[in-house]
Amino acid sequence: MSRRGGGRRSSEPRPDQGSSTPSPSFQRGGGGDRGRGRGRRGGFTPAPSPAPVRAPPPAASGYLSATAGPSTSLTPQKMASSSTAPPPSASSSASMVELSQEIAKKLSFGSTSATGGSVPVSSKAIVPPPRPQLGRIGRKCTIRANHFVVEVSDRDLFHYDVAITPEITSKKVNRDVISQLVRSYRESHLGNRMPAYDGRKSLYTAGALPFEAKEFVVKLVEKNDPASSSSSVKKERQFNVAIKYASKVDMHHLKEFLSGRQKDVPQETIQILDIVLRASPSEKYVTVGRSFFSLDLGKKGELGNGIEYWRGYYQSLRPTQMGLSLNIDVSARSFYEPILVTEFVAKYFTLRDLSRPLSDQDRVKVKRALRGIKVEISYRDYARSFKVTGISNLPVDKTMFTLDDKKTKVSVHQYFWDRYNIGLKYTSLPPLQAGTDAKPIYLPMELCKIAGGQRYTKKLNERQVTALLRATCQRPSARENSIKEMVGHNDYSRNVLVRNEFGIQVKEELTSVDARVLPAPMLKYHDTGREARVDPHLGQWNMINKKMVNGGRIDFWTCVNFSTRVQRDLPFEFCRQLMDMCNSKGMEFHPDPIIQIHSADSKYIEKALHDVHKKCTAKLANQKGKQLQLLIIILPDFSGSYGKIKRICETELGIVSQCCQPLQAKKLSKQYLENVALKINVKAGGRNTVLNDAIQRRIPNVTDFPTIIFGADVTHPQPGEDSSPSIAAVVASMDWPEVTKYRGLVSAQAHREEIIQDLYKKYQDPQKGLVHSGMIRELFIAFRRSTGQKPHRIIFYRDGVSEGQFSQVLLHEMQAIREACGTLEEGYCPRVTFVVVQKRHHTRFFPADHNKRDLTDKSGNILPGTVVDSKICHPTEFDFYLNSHAGIQGTSRPTHYHVLFDENNFTADGLQTLTNNLCYTYARCTRSVSIGQTIIPPSSFFM
């Protein structure tokens, strides 16, 4: 089966619901037809009775071996005996229920998550395995990283609680209040201390304040209230600020942690130092998460539709092997243009004539685009800002409201003429609405200007994304220089709060890091090709003189063309050449389509696809079990139809489709045809290439015993989509020892829920009793049927988890894996290695010398295969950065791998080499990729 798999269609029987017993057979349904016959196929025999799963002794040292479920205890002698030997039987009498209770007890579960499961009270319950040792394999080299060494003097840090009355939601206003307090009372009441403030409830000082608790009165001048242009009088707001001692921060804990003598992360201490380093830019720039943006940090640029981008930088303080490190990277974000609302509406809808009323559909779009943003209104002697809550259903000349006398009703248009002698130009446009529905405030669009510095949080369209990438894409040398300029602009060494008050020193040089370039794996192709093996060079190779190692077979196919810009005969010629390419590369492609190749109107995509399905089904009605295997689709000329086509084909009709861009199709390029052939072969159940070391059984911890490799991810909705579900996706290898073919499953779950809910589930069925299901279970059964083996080892790559979620995700998902395995066979507990994969970080690597060709690839980036596990990595835990791919444009982003649990006792070289090798098995192209084939987001399922 191919990697994409497509999951299970609703019409297929569910292999995990065939019995009411808690311990069903792992070999249900026979299977193993496509196995390689390595020894006997036995293994997963039915349990004689629904006995509880028992836990064997811990298999490896670590926090989960005694807490997260049964753990296999395979000795080296057992591992070497036979690849078909079953795992050792359980030896403990703890049941699943007892096991869960033990987990809750040992990990101090206290709270309950939104999903109903228990979660640990703190991350202190979790201690990931230590780094085994530094890796040695590969050619040594030196590179630079955008990490800057931070040195901290030994000063006492104190934490104070802050309460501002009346309460303010704006961090900016809070900072203004505390800044005014420091200016007014620093010498008289604060002991000449200069505090660092987080904008909310906490204040930090280097040295104690001369009081335990004190209240202050602070008067803040309003900057944006109604005011006469000729008046010098400003409105003052008065605040009461209560400051109370909270705690003294232990700096010794930080030193012990950085030296490896303390396991618990001193999160509070690191957070305080981070706040100190962020205090000054937080006052000067627009803050977005851990990034800062300002027009002072670079030129802005237009993205279209009333949106622009600002340049800025990302900053984060991190504990590393070399001590504290400040990670700094250049960044860019989208902002609203500070223009009149009428200009924004014209740009947003590309309207030239604003004198015509908006349609109901456009009015709703305007409301969505403007809701929640701040606008400034200024006319005559009146100036004020408002937050938009909506827009009126009627234009300004028909939107009525009651005056202060509570009798007279007047239109917005008439009111501005009578009160301010302003004649509104765009009387057909609806006014903006501020305030509440009970007491609305109506503001004419043409008098309102969008306040500057407001981030655009909605999804950018394809054109805007392209413009942003084009504007911010920098070659490594240019990006490195930009980072240096940003550090110089910040000038930490001269910042009074940072250097003088807290004694923090930030070095201005990028960190030089020892790295290694791992060798590329040898790839195996079919022996009948002129080249049966290939050694990739700089992360890429080609298919010239090579044949797919396992060619798929396509008997029933057809093609539909939705493009109007290709010649009439193009679809026929394109399919003919594509078929010839597939056959030449080792596939068996039937020369004739099942129904005639034809073109269809792109306005009726859904109807055309249903017609194709109906005709093909009718044509194959007399051939039992036969169905359309492949639908080749030449996409419409406009963008945005791909998702719709895939949804209809893959989820509604059960059709495997291959979409082709019309501009590429009409070129009839051999390179493009070859690339499409690679994708089709995988969808037909074939394999393009395999790792030669896998064939030779030379991959440690993979090819010695049956091993299943998982990749998992959760994709969340775009900001603003409050009701859409999150989509969990899990893929698993279906062939061993090659680990090249994968099956994928997807599942919708609660909005923005990161923990995968459907890994394992159980429920009571009225007829069947207790039913076990879930993605882990289904993929294990599929592996057994495909290979004739049961996995003795699990390698689980988990994408998309932030550091703050490590504990929760690991505990819940490891528990699900354990429970799923326990229901397949009594005492069945394969060893697990759980690795988190992170791409959303800001660590970048640069060649030590940009001019040396042997240190860079063609794009100027570091070489593919470059791995770093020292200096900038975690002080004690098992993590590493791997740049497995060759750069194309811009600066390559290495992938960060962090091992949270390891019962397989991987060495650094073993896991780094395996991970790098998996990046060469991606089915869609002849290039290494940034994340291995198993670690893919849901959007990559449908190629």
For residue range 513-565, list pLDDT tens digits in order: 999 999 999 999 999 999 999 999 999 999 999 999 999 999 999 999 999 99
Mean pLDDT of the chain: 84
**Residues 6+ away with beta carbon under 8 Å from 618:** none
Count of alpha carbons within 13 angstroms of residue 340, beta-carbon side: 12
* Distances 720 to 334, 371, 673, 751, 929 between C-alpha atoms, Å: 15, 11, 40, 12, 31
| Residue 7, pLDDT above cutoff 90 | no
Candidate from 61-75, 154-168, 239-253 with smallest mean pLDDT: 61-75
Q: Mean per-residue pLDDT for 209-222?
A: 93
Q: pLDDT-derived band of residue 722, with 50, 70 and 90 as boundaries?
A: confident
CB of 707 closer than 8 Å to CB of 536: no
Query: In which residue are the tokens 């190779």 written?
Result: 541
Mean pLDDT of 200-207: 95
Q: Tell me which of 402-406, 528-532, 892-896 is least confident.
A: 402-406
Beta bridge mates, 517 = 139, 866
Pick the residue with more confidence: 903 or 102? 903
Q: Identify the band that residue 126 occupies on the pLDDT scale cut at 50, 70 and 90.
A: low
In this prediction, residue 514 carries a pLDDT of 96
Q: What is the mean pLDDT of residues 30-36?
A: 37
Task: Give the type of residue at 884.
Answer: S
Pick from 606, 590, 614: nearest CA to 649: 606
**Which DSSP helix (H) or strand (E) runs through 787?**
helix 775-787
Question: What is the reported pLDDT for 933?
Answer: 52
Residue 633 above 50 pLDDT?
yes
Residue 550: DSSP 8-state? B
Tell me what pLDDT residue 497 has. 95
pLDDT band, residue 94 (cuts 50/70/90): very low
Is the per-residue pLDDT at 40 higher than 50?
no
pLDDT confidence of residue 614:
95
Predicted confidence at residue 887, as pLDDT, reads: 86
The overall longest dimension of the chain from CA atoms, in Å, is: 95
What is the structure's pLDDT at 868?
98
State residue 68's pLDDT score: 34
pLDDT score recorded for residue 728? 95
| 840: pLDDT strictly greater than 80 | yes
Six-digit token pair at 921?
Answer: 């098995």
At residue 380, the pLDDT reads 66
**CA-CA-CA-CA torsion sign (932, 936, 940, 943):** positive
pTM of the model: 0.84
Are 239 and 165 in contact by the 8 Å Cβ rule? The answer is yes
The 3-state DSSP composition of the chain as helix, strand, coil percent (nearest 5) reads 25, 25, 45
Strands 895-902 and 553-554: unpaired
Average pLDDT over every residue of 797-802? 93
Cα torsion 33, 39, 40, 43: sign: negative
| Residue-level pLDDT at 24 | 41
pLDDT at 86: 39
Element (H, E) at 486: helix 476-490
Q: What is the pLDDT of residue 362?
A: 87
pLDDT at 714 over 90: yes
Six-digit token string for 128: 């990931």
Q: In this model, does residue 18 exceed pLDDT 60?
A: no
Distance CA 915, CA 838 (A): 13
| Least reliable range by pLDDT among 176-190, 221-235, 484-498, 846-860 | 221-235
**Helix, strand, or coil here: 34?**
coil
How would DSSP label each residue in 359-419?
PHHHHHHHHHHHTT-EEEEEETTEEEEEE--EE-SS-TTT-EEE-TTSS-EEEHHHHHHHH
pLDDT for 262: 87
The total of other beta-carbon atoms located within 10 Å of residue 191's CB is: 13
Instruction: Residue 497: name the closest of 179, 171, 186, 277 by CA.
Output: 277
Q: Check residue 589 and give its pLDDT.
A: 95
How confident is the model at residue 30, as a pLDDT?
A: 36
pLDDT at 640: 85
As a whole number, mean pLDDT of residues 58-68 equals 33
**pLDDT for the residue numbered 332:** 94
E-strand ranges in 3-45 read none
pLDDT for 88 beyond 90: no
Q: Look at residue 923 in the predicted model and tell me its pLDDT.
A: 85
pLDDT band at 501 (very low <50, low <70, confident <90, very high): very high
